Structure 1
Amino acid sequence: MTAKPPSLAELQTRFQAAIVDGSDDVLALIPANSRTSNAVLLGVYRNAYVGRLVEVVRNAYPMLARHMGDEAFTLMAQRYVALYPSRHANARWYASEVPELLSRDPFVAEPELREIALLERQLDLAFDAPDAPVLDLAGLAQHPPETWGGLAFVPHPSAAVLDFETNAFEIWRALKDEEAAPAAVLEGPHAFLVWRRNTVPSVRRLGAEEHMLWSEAARGKAFAGLAEMAAVYDDPDTAALRVAQYLNGWLSAGLISKAVT
């Protein structure tokens, strides 16, 4: 009795399992030809699939690829494809776990790799972040001066802070500008603010005091509370002025969505 051929849906499911999961169940349905075997024919599709995903990873992390070099990056991307099967209909999101991979052996010995990847990933996330109102000085002026002490500031949804230990930002910036990148070195803790300014993802380094104040503002600390913290951090006589200057910079850069009481 001749076996009933699989339906198109069954064939697609088995073929997908062969490509994505490495199953060989579909081999019996692939006829060999005079030049090669069905296993070789299936291997062509498997290799093409892996190659396409490697290119997706490369396109998501172009500066990381330049820093690592083609061979090393390709090996890393192939490892990623093997460990992180695609679960996304949109290829744009497939490479999101690359920083996680780079936090493990054998890559952990080069911590700048993970940080460059984090920066590239966060810039993409900033680009894709939801639209939101942007508060400017004119909008802030709508609040009576006597209420400013109680005002808290809601960050734009694209804003995020990255904490780095290496000079990954300097490496990334040099590569982006097509300049010779510095050697990777450990610098100690420092922070970068990533956000979307108008329609363009942006990044800048935060000084220690601004990092502390931005982090507290993002958690809902009001202006008066920020001034108190600045007074403990440095000169108390200029604390309120320093917070006002930081706030002016945040407003000018489009980092604040609204002020709330």
Structure 2
Amino acid sequence: MSDLLRQQQLAFAAAVTHGAPVDQLLAGSPDGGPPLISAYRHAYGARLNEALRDNFEILARAMGDEAFDALATAYRRAWPSTVPSIRWFGHRLAEFMVAQVEQDSGLVPHPAFVDLARMDWALRSAFDAADAPVIVRDALAALAPEQFAALRFTPHPSVQLLPLDWAIEAAWRALREHDADSGDEPDLPEPRAEAHQLLVWRRGLETRWRSLDPHEAVLLQAMQRGENFAALCEHAAASSGDADQAVTIAATALTQWLEDELLSALT
């Protein structure tokens, strides 16, 4: 009996989630009508759409209800949920949106929406990142000057460098701060193409972000690769074209990282 029950449960799940036939699974209605499962299918799809809306809150606000629901429905049909927690449903949404832009399907009205999705997901991921200690600026005071060249850094687990193709930060902030119940539309700047890096991390229980200039982005990438302070100075000299100021540039970046609580260890 347990095997039969298990088979029925799997069949019912497939009928709800993937539209499998139910003729041999459910009895018809008393008046001889076909078995009805549409309510369960609708509820399942609606719940996943709401999970996407929660995971991509700012993207949903930017696109509007109708456009976002169309995108969410197309995504869950292309990439059905495969993980137990709906928190992680949507990890391929930005990738799916890129494909829709390339296909000109109409589901993504502007490519800048892809970057909004990337930013939403990065911030959610930073919030859920593992806990780790943070190193403050005073930690440098215990080091002898000759130790700095070999110094290496361990970033906090929440730290992410996010490549963006559009300058979306002002629009993201406006949408975040807008009162959705006001009935007014937020005043958003026009999308502007600009390839750059966005720094995302968590400080305490608060997620944070800031746009990076190219010089700091180069240094952060080197830091994440495990390169030491001497190597960071070399990168600073190359990116700025000013070897005399390389140490100052690298030291200024390091001070900022410590103030932002981006680092978990100094080695």
Give yes or no for TM over 0.5.
yes
Matching residue of 1:22? 19
Aligned residues of 1:134 and 1:258 also touching (Cα < 8 A)? yes
The equivalent position to 1:222 in structure 2, one of 215, 224, 228, is 228
Q: 1:54 to 1:35 in 2, by over 3 A?
A: farther
Residues of 2 paired with 1:134 and 1:92: CA distance?
A: 26
Q: AA paired with 2:214?
A: A
Residues of 2 paired with 1:6 and 1:249: CA distance?
A: 61
Matching residue of 2:247? 240
Name the SS of the counterpart of 2:98 in structure 1.
Answer: coil
Aligned residues of 1:198 and 1:254 also touching (Cα < 8 A)? no
Aligned residues of 2:199 and 2:209 also touching (Cα < 8 A)? yes
Aligned residues of 2:71 and 2:108 also touching (Cα < 8 A)? no
Task: Flag structure 1 segments of 5+ consecutive residues without an equivalent.
Answer: none
In the TM superposition, residue 5 of structure 1 has moved relative to its aligned partner by: 11
Residues of 1 paired with 2:205 and 2:15: CA distance?
A: 41
In the TM superposition, residue 167 of structure 1 has moved relative to its aligned partner by: 2.0
Identity %: 35
Aligned residues of 1:228 and 1:239 also touching (Cα < 8 A)? yes
- Normalising by structure 1, we get a TM-score of 0.91
Residues of 2 paired with 1:35 and 1:102: CA distance?
A: 45
Residues of 1 paired with 2:135 and 2:247: CA distance?
A: 20
Name the SS of the counterpart of 1:141 in structure 2.
Answer: helix
Residues of 2 paired with 1:198 and 1:126: CA distance?
A: 11
Residues of 2 paired with 1:231 and 1:110: CA distance?
A: 38
Name the SS of the counterpart of 1:103 in structure 2.
Answer: helix
Q: AA paired with 2:264?
A: S
Matching residue of 1:199? 205
Matching residue of 2:190? 183
Q: 1:6 to 1:218 in 2, by over 3 A?
A: closer
Deviations 1:52-103 (A, max 9, x none): 1111111111111111111111000000111111111111011211111111
In the TM superposition, residue 142 of structure 1 has moved relative to its aligned partner by: 2.5
Aligned residues of 1:130 and 1:158 also touching (Cα < 8 A)? yes
Aligned residues of 1:53 and 1:81 also touching (Cα < 8 A)? yes
Q: AA paired with 1:154?
A: T
Q: 1:37 to 1:86 in 2, by over 3 A?
A: farther
Matching residue of 2:27? 31
Deviations 1:165-217 (A, max 9, x none): 1122222111001142222231x211110001121111001011111111111
Q: 1:237 to 1:36 in 2, by over 3 A?
A: farther
